[in-house]
Structure 1
């Protein structure tokens, strides 16, 4: 098929490679413009742009689309069978959605209608969902409201992180979108009216740990916020980034203030239960195992985190 591919982050790269390997004619790749990055703030192309250029595919990086009539005309001139969208980051107007013969198909990282919106991977872990997945959706002008073509699911466990789920769903989405294009008999199914939830865009503040929450919720937060924005707490005004933790069976003495260090293994009292920090990082240092951290920076029992 004659396709345009529209995506920006790492999540979209496996789908681009899969469509190319399947023999589709990808006549244009759309990605968000290069952004300043690193200490020198040099412009850095997105992962999708980098992957597309390595494949020898033409790349377009418009900064906006909604009122960009010139870009609408260019898109129309491509004479597409379909456009594939994966975490592109720009809203497609009707003038573009209606152009390809088979429309625009979105690779969405949730089992719709659960977790429409910007951060479905993190939201599923935070909520303690037992499963997640990918939905291939026929796009319309709503926010992830289009009819569904295909979906598949994956179980979530107490060890699932946003990093591992991201990678699993990226591979799943690549497989599903190739299958969707190969099967012209698929009939789009409207999303169920019930069970709609929304996953808001994350901010850095979403990573701040409130030790007054129960240990299981904080564990999910740490796993969901890996790698970005990262979970963090403070001790004596110093920010500590928490890379990994696990539920601890330690008994919390009655009256213990949440955030109190209980032992020499970084077991922390929570609003309910306790959590043991296993990897952490202080400013200017790399992420390290807790025992290595404590050899250089003791955190004695009785220390209060979150202060």
Structure 2
């Protein structure tokens, strides 16, 4: 098939690599513009652009697709059979959706119609799901509302974070697309409309969401930490300092009359904190301008005050 690929982050790279390995003609790769990153604000390319360059593919990096006549004409000239979109970062306008003869398909990181939106992987963890997966879907003008074609499911383990699930689902997504390609080439007769009554949203994750509220239960806080890890990360405010929390787990409960948020104990196991329901053991942190580390390492040269209320 003649394919135009649209994607930006590392999550999209396995799908692009798979299409190349399968011998499809990748006529164009569209990715987000280069952005300044790091302390030096050096321009850096997206993982998808880096992969496309390695394979000597044609690349376009428009600021916007909507009302972009140059991109529209380029796509019309290419006349692709299929447009594949994976975590591209922009909504495709209707003018582009109409171009490929076999449609535009997307790899979405959830089992639709649950978790439509920008952050399905994070929200599945935050909400304590035990299974998730990927959906190969046809794109329409809505946000992740198009017809579903193919799904693959995977378990979420208690140790999984958003980071580990990204790695699992990017590979699962490439496999799902590979298995769905024959269905797409045959016209997608198996496509199924989404049941909107079962839909849920997964909006963009904001940094402010990571502030831990100990009036929640230990289970809810642990799930939030997992969903925010490794970035932008959950955090606590301790004596005016923002400390990132990268790992924590619910601890065996014992009678404690202190208020929620009180530090009950600090040892090599971690920082034990009272919550509204249950106890939370914080095991891995990152103080400003330092690398992430186990609490057992941090307390070798630093003190954390018992009885302090977070």
Q: Give a deviation string over 1:19-51, Cα, whole Å, max 9, x none.
A: 111111101000000111011111111111111
Name the counterpart of 2:28: 28
Q: Distance in 2 between matches of 1:97 and 1:129?
A: 32
Name the counterpart of 2:274: 269
Q: Distance in 2 between matches of 1:89 and 1:29?
A: 14
Q: CA deviation at 1:252?
A: 4.4
Q: Distance in 2 between matches of 1:70 and 1:285?
A: 46
Alignment of 1:239-258 (within 5 A): 239-254=242-257, 256-258=258-260
Name the counterpart of 2:156: 156
SS in 1 for 2:299: helix
Q: Distance in 1 between matches of 2:255 and 2:118?
A: 37
Mark the CA change 1:106 to 1:97 in structure 2 (over 3 Å): closer, same or farther.
same
Is 1:278 the counterpart of 2:283? The answer is yes
Q: CA deviation at 1:264?
A: 2.1
Please tell me whether the aligned partners of residues 252 and 273 of structure 1 are also in contact (alpha carbons under 8 angstroms). no
SS in 1 for 2:5: strand
Please tell me whether the aligned partners of residues 206 and 229 of structure 1 are also in contact (alpha carbons under 8 angstroms). no
Mark the CA change 1:49 to 1:252 in structure 2 (over 3 Å): closer, same or farther.
farther
Q: Distance in 2 between matches of 1:246 and 1:293?
A: 18
Name the counterpart of 2:109: 109
SS in 1 for 2:198: coil
Mean Cα deviation higher: 294-303 or 276-285: 294-303
Q: Distance in 2 between matches of 1:69 and 1:284?
A: 45
Alignment of 1:220-259 (within 5 A): 220-254=223-257, 256-259=258-261
Name the counterpart of 1:205: 208
Q: Distance in 1 between matches of 2:193 and 2:283?
A: 44
Q: Give a deviation string over 1:165-185, Cα, whole Å, max 9, x none.
A: 111111011011122113334
Q: Distance in 1 between matches of 2:290 and 2:255?
A: 31
Q: Distance in 1 between matches of 2:233 and 2:222?
A: 12
Name the counterpart of 2:170: 170
Name the counterpart of 2:299: 294
Q: Distance in 2 between matches of 1:66 and 1:16?
A: 23
Q: CA deviation at 1:130?
A: 2.2
Please tell me whether the aligned partners of residues 261 and 301 of structure 1 are also in contact (alpha carbons under 8 angstroms). yes
SS in 2 for 1:198: coil
Mark the CA change 1:252 to 1:89 in structure 2 (over 3 Å): closer, same or farther.
farther
Name the counterpart of 1:64: 64
Gaps of 5+ in 2: none
Q: Give a deviation string over 1:222-281, Cα, whole Å, max 9, x none.
A: 000011110100111011101101110141412x11121111231111111111111101
Is 1:5 the counterpart of 2:5? The answer is yes
Name the counterpart of 2:309: 304
CA RMSD, 1 decimal = 1.1
Name the counterpart of 2:83: 83
Gaps of 5+ in 1: none
Please tell me whether the aligned partners of residues 252 and 269 of structure 1 are also in contact (alpha carbons under 8 angstroms). no
SS in 2 for 1:28: strand
Q: Distance in 2 between matches of 1:154 and 1:252?
A: 38
Name the counterpart of 1:44: 44
Q: Distance in 2 between matches of 1:294 and 1:250?
A: 23
Alignment size in residue pairs: 304
Q: CA deviation at 1:17?
A: 0.7
After the TM superposition, which segments of 4 or more aligned residues of structure 1 sit over 6 Å from their partners?
Answer: none
Mark the CA change 1:86 to 1:252 in structure 2 (over 3 Å): closer, same or farther.
farther
Q: Distance in 1 between matches of 2:266 and 2:208?
A: 28
